[in-house]
């Protein structure tokens, strides 16, 4: 992912230094397990740990150029790395990678990186949940028009809109937790997963040491449905952010202007038109959602590997996982800032609600005529629609038309008609809904 959309903490997870550090942690954890099982001398482990301690702690950096130089000969990145580590450790390095195949180390290390990345994303979501809840409570009774098909429907509140977003992000958090648990799984089972050259207990001990789960059964790789689920979950989360950002874009349109992205001092909206205040961040979030979603397709296509494994998944995972995690981290943090600082215009919401001269109360008129007038639904609907179409055509007040309609006057008094147009009718269950969502 380009630097423009990369934030430091997530980028560090996928940094080459951290990758090699994680590879080394896996190799040492496996060696510790062999020591525990009495197959490797403890002295050798001490030597390995002493000579690699600064690398594990990040005090020293791996010589990338040297590793690349070795790989230019071996044409194998894991062998190049192990050869480089032998240059640091000396003879004790012969106990590293003992009985293991490359994917034992690669997939187990990958699981650790997935867990680290996932935990950052969970923190991001937690901050978004806090921000949405805060704004929802602030605008619990900020009345606005609800829209279906882009057309005015009935009154809602902005707080209710945000409560829906809150619940959606809660579901996304639950999905992500489950996906991390299934994807953050290592395997140290040897060449085709039979443990022929490695004790199964090494896998259990090492993965426990590394803080991840282990596959109950695997072939030469951890099965890729786990990774596809993780990427699909990232795609779902990105799609939720896109949905919220799309709504903000619609509500910021000049003709609507019910909310607006913050416009900072010195900010410019257009190189040509000085008056412009564009929803650029929301548009950026919508665009990046496409990048994150694209990774989910790659993840699903990586499931079908040949026999016990091939490496058609390897090249794609080096980019798709990195880009998806970094892009979503950026999206989540930017959306949290956006929702926290979003400008809301209640007066415009009320102005827009009244644009249709009271037509948004048509359903209550319909139901009241049925309830009090003994009319069939078809009869009541015809009366209400006839008057509603006059409002569309002539721009007159819906309420005044109803008061003049003899069919309505036979059923409802002017006072009863006035009562129908009371906004509080549409907000009477807001507390109940908020209690269900926020407790």
User: Does the structure show a pLDDT above 80 at 266?
Assistant: no
- Residue 199 has what DSSP assignment? -
Mean pLDDT of 342-366: 95
pLDDT digits (tens, 9 = 90+) for 159-179: 999 999 999 999 999 999 999
- Print burial letters for 194-230: b (CB count within 10 Å at least 16), e (below 16): ebeebeeebbebbbebbebbbbeebbbbbbbebbbbb
Which residues, 6+ apart, have CB-to-CB distance to 403 below 8 Å?
A: 409, 414, 417
Rounded to whole angstroms, the Cα distance separating 162 from 136 reads 5
Confidence class of residue 345 from pLDDT cuts 50, 70 and 90?
Answer: very high
Long-range contacts of 392-396 (CB under 8 A, 24+ apart): 392/356, 392/359, 395/357, 396/357
Lookup: tokens for 143: 């009345």
Which residues, 6+ apart, have CB-to-CB distance to 290 below 8 Å?
A: none
Three-state secondary structure readout of 43-101: HHHHHHHHHHHHHHCCCCCCCHHHHHHHHHHHCCHHHHHHHHHHHHHCHHHHHCCCCCC
Within 10 Å of residue 272's Cβ, how many Cβ atoms?
6
Confidence (pLDDT) at 125? 98
Confidence (pLDDT) at 373? 81
Mean pLDDT of 411-425: 94
Within 10 Å of residue 428's Cβ, how many Cβ atoms?
9
3-state DSSP assignment of residue 439: coil
Lookup: tokens for 407: 């069919």
Confidence (pLDDT) at 273? 79
CA distances from residue 89 to 82, 97, 255 in whole angstroms, order as listed:
10, 13, 69
Rounded to whole angstroms, the Cα distance separating 111 from 223 reads 12
Confidence (pLDDT) at 52? 97
Nearest one of 321, 330, 319 to 227, comparing CA atoms: 321
Lookup: tokens for 209: 């040491």
Which residue is catalytic, options 72, 149, 271, 315?
A: 149
User: Does the structure show a pLDDT above 80 at 276?
Assistant: no
Long-range contacts of 274-281 (CB under 8 A, 24+ apart): 279/245, 279/248, 279/249, 279/252, 281/245, 281/334, 281/338
Confidence (pLDDT) at 265? 79
* Cβ proximity of 242 and 286 under 8 Å: yes
Confidence (pLDDT) at 2? 85
Which residue is catalytic, options 76, 270, 312, 429?
A: 270
Percent of residues, the chain, with pLDDT higher than 90: 93
CA distances from residue 147 to 161, 248, 331, 352, 434 in whole angstroms, order as listed:
11, 13, 26, 11, 21
pLDDT digits (tens, 9 = 90+) for 199-237: 999 999 999 999 999 999 999 999 999 999 999 999 999
3-state DSSP assignment of residue 144: strand
pLDDT digits (tens, 9 = 90+) for 107-140: 999 999 999 999 999 999 999 999 999 999 999 9
Lookup: tokens for 58: 């990040």
Would residue 149 show up in a list of annotated catalytic residues for this protein? yes
Which residues, 6+ apart, have CB-to-CB distance to 288 below 8 Å?
A: 5, 238, 327, 328, 330, 331
Confidence class of residue 344 from pLDDT cuts 50, 70 and 90?
Answer: very high
pTM above 0.85, yes or no: yes
Mean pLDDT of 258-275: 81
Confidence class of residue 1 from pLDDT cuts 50, 70 and 90?
Answer: confident
Rounded to whole angstroms, the Cα distance separating 307 from 310 reads 8
User: Does the structure show a pLDDT above 80 at 274?
Assistant: no
Rounded to whole angstroms, the Cα distance separating 288 from 285 reads 5
- Between strands 185-186 and 213-214, the pairing is parallel
Confidence (pLDDT) at 271? 72
Confidence (pLDDT) at 36? 96
Would residue 270 show up in a list of annotated catalytic residues for this protein? yes
């Amino acid at each position: 992912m380009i630097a423009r959309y990369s934030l430091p903490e997530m980028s560090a997870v996928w940094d080459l230094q951290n990758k090699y550090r994680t590879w080394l942690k896996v190799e040492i954890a496996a060696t510790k397990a062999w020591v525990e099982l009495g197959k490797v001398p403890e002295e050798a482990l001490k030597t390995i740990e002493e000579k690699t301690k600064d690398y594990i702690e990040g005090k020293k950096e791996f010589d990338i150029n040297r590793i690349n130089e070795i790989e230019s000969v071996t044409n194998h990145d894991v062998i190049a790395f192990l050869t480089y580590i032998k240059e640091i450790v000396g003879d004790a390095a012969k106990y590293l990678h003992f009985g293991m195949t490359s994917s034992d180390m690669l997939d187990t290390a990958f699981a650790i990186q997935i867990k680290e990345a996932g935990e950052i994303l969970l923190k991001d979501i937690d901050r978004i949940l806090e921000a949405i809840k805060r704004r929802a409570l602030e605008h619990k009774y900020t009345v606005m028009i609800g829209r279906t098909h882009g057309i005015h429907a009935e009154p809602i509140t902005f707080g209710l809109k945000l409560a829906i977003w809150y619940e959606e992000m809660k579901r996304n958090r639950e999905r992500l937790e489950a996906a991390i648990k299934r994807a953050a799984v290592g395997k140290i089972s040897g060449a085709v997963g039979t443990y022929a050259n490695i004790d199964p207990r090494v896998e259990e001990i090492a993965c426990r040491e590394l803080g991840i789960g282990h596959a109950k059964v695997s072939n030469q790789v951890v099965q890729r449905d786990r990774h596809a689920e993780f990427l699909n979950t990232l795609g779902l989360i990105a799609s939720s952010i896109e949905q919220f950002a799309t709504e903000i874009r619609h509500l910021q349109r000049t003709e609507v202007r019910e909310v607006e992205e913050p416009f900072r001092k010195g900010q410019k909206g257009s190189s040509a038109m000085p008056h412009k205040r564009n929803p650029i961040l929301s548009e950026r979030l919508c665009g990046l959602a496409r990048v994150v979603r694209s990774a989910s397709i790659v993840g699903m296509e990586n499931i079908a590997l040949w026999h016990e494994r091939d490496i058609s998944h390897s090249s794609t995972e080096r980019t798709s996982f990195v880009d998806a995690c970094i892009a979503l981290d950026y999206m989540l943090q930017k959306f949290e800032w956006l929702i926290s600082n979003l400008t809301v215009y209640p007066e415009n919401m009320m102005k827009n609600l009244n644009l249709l001269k009271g037509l948004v109360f048509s359903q209550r008129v319909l139901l009241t005529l049925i309830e009090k007038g003994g009319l069939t639904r078809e009869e009541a609907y015809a009366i209400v629609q006839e008057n509603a179409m006059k409002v569309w055509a002539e721009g007159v007040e819906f309420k005044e038309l109803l008061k003049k309609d003899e069919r309505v006057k036979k059923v409802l008094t002017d006072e009863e008609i006035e009562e129908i147009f009371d906004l509080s009718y549409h907000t009477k269950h807001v507390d109940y809904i908020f209690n269900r969502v926020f407790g």
